[in-house]
Chain A
Amino acid sequence: MKRNNYWELLLNPFTRIAGLQAFGLGLVFVILMGIIGTFSHVRFDGVIDMHLVNQMTFIQSFTLLAIDILSIVIVMWITGVIVSGKIRFIDILGTMTLAKAPFIILAIAGFFTKSPDQTEILKNPGIILNSVSFIFLLILTLPVMIWSIILMLNALKVSCDIKGSKLTATFIIALLISEIISKVLIYKFL
């Protein structure tokens, strides 16, 4: 496989896989994230957000992931219907679920991260610098989030056939709305 093909597969696998296949694969990643996240105390509390917590249950972990995915899928689907018209819900569901996959790296990284106490951080933010593993996780978070956002952008592009500046503008708005909705739902239910 050529190097360009690897990049395409990593950043835009949706030209090759979408719909039910993508949903099945995405679901495998999400279930693994839910299980690993519970044990590594990584909380995916937002469409593009995660935090380390002291304790987590399976129910909390999977409820958070369900809220994240439902928020992004519903908002992107409505966006697609408004902007593009003829789209299949299964394409949005599949591609957006698979776009969440990179976050599994952070769930695994949670095992190797020792988080300073939240109250201590609030009192003295400089305490973060004492935890090398925590700084590593913070640095790792950025490329993972960017990767996931690129995947979501390409998911919208392929599933809804939106291009150019229209794609960028609608994606940013839809992503922000879905992030807000997920935060509100998490605040209400958990």
Chain B
Amino acid sequence: MQKINLNSMLPTYCPGCHAQLKVKCLKCESCQTEVTGSYDLPVLALLPELDQQFIIRFVKNSGSLKEMASELKLSYPTVRNMLNDVISKIESYEKE
């Protein structure tokens, strides 16, 4: 699969105990204002990098699995199964 550069990936799990991380601080690069609190990470940010790339590709292909299959040189059911995996991961994050 051709990689889409997502730059430095946002860490989503604690390297020490593997618990889900929260956003504590946000900073404006322009005026240096900092906002602190405890914010949940968006569901999409919790997904592994490959799944995020898959979603970007899916959106870019206007949600056409057939086009994605021909782009990735994979069969239609394989791409559909990849989407099913992403859906089940999102559903499990939503339940947490």
Contact = CB atoms under 8 A, between A and B. Distances in A.
Interface stretch (A12-20, A115-123, A128-136, A165-173): A12-20
Nearest to B78: A15
A26 B81 CA distance: 22
Nearest to A88: B77
Contacts of B81: 158, 161
Nearest to A21: B75
Contacts of A88: 76-77
A159 B77 CA distance: 6
Contacts of B44: none
Interface string B78-96: 1011001000000000000
Contacts of B26: none
Secondary structure call for the B interface: helix
Interface magnitude class on chain A:
10 to 19
Contact of A161 (B73, B74, B75, B84): B84
A15 B75 contact: yes
A92 B76 CA distance: 12
A68 interface: no
B73 A158 contact: no
Nearest to A90: B76
A45 interface: no
Interface string A10-34: 0000111111001000000000000
Contacts of B76: 18-19, 88, 91
A89 to B, nearest CB: 12
Nearest to A17: B75
B80 A14 contact: no
Contacts of A15: 74-75, 78
Nearest to B81: A161
Interface string A66-88: 00000000000000000000011
A96 to B, nearest CB: 13
Interface of B: 73-78, 80-81, 84
Interface of A: 14-19, 22, 87-88, 91, 158-159, 161
5 contacts: A14-B78, A91-B77, A158-B81, A161-B80, A161-B84
Given A14-B77, A18-B76, A19-B76, 9 more contacts: A15-B74, A16-B78, A18-B75, A19-B77, A88-B77, A158-B78, A161-B77, A161-B81, A161-B84
